[in-house]
Amino acid sequence: MANRLKGLIALLGTTILWGSSFPAIKMVMGLVDEYTYTWLRGLIALLGLTPYVLYKSLSSKRIGMRVIKGGLLAGIAYSLGIWLQGWGTKYTTATNSAFITGLNVVFVHVYVALRQREYNWRLLLSLILA
C-alpha cells in the first residue's frame, strides 16, 4: 500500500510540475527570445549534470566515444525541441502548447508503427490509456 501511495504522489507531483511549466515558459518567452531561453535551459542542464558526469568519469576512468556521440546527438535533439517549444509558445497559449506537446505520445506510436512496421495490441492499449 505504501508503494502505491508513493507512486501516486510521484505521478501527481510530476503532473503538477509538467503542467505548470507551460505558463512559466509563456511568461519567460515574454521576457526573452527563444534563443536565450534555449541557452539558459541548456546552461541549467549543464550545471545540473556536470557533477554526475564527473562522478561517472572518475569512477569508470574514461567515457567512451559512443557515449560522447550519443550525448551530443541527444543534446542537439533536446535543444532543438526546447527551441521549437519556446518559439511556438511565444505565438500561442500555454494551453495549446501543452496540448501539442502532449501529442508527442501519439507521434511516438505512429513512429513505432511506421519504423517497426508492426503494431501490437499492447501498444494500442497503452495509446488508448494515455
Say yes or no to pLDDT of 115 above 90: no
State residue 13's pLDDT score.
Answer: 93
Would you list the domain boundaries of the chain? 27-91, 94-130
State residue 108's pLDDT score.
Answer: 80
How many CB atoms sit inside 10 A of residue 18's CB? 12
Does the pTM of the predicted model rise above 0.85?
A: no
State residue 61's pLDDT score.
Answer: 67
Per-residue pLDDT of 45-101, as tens digits, reads 889 988 988 887 777 767 778 878 988 899 899 899 889 888 888 888 888 888 888
Query: Over pLDDT 70: what percentage of the chain?
Result: 98
The angle that helices 2-31 and 65-91 make with each other, rounded to 10 degrees, is 60
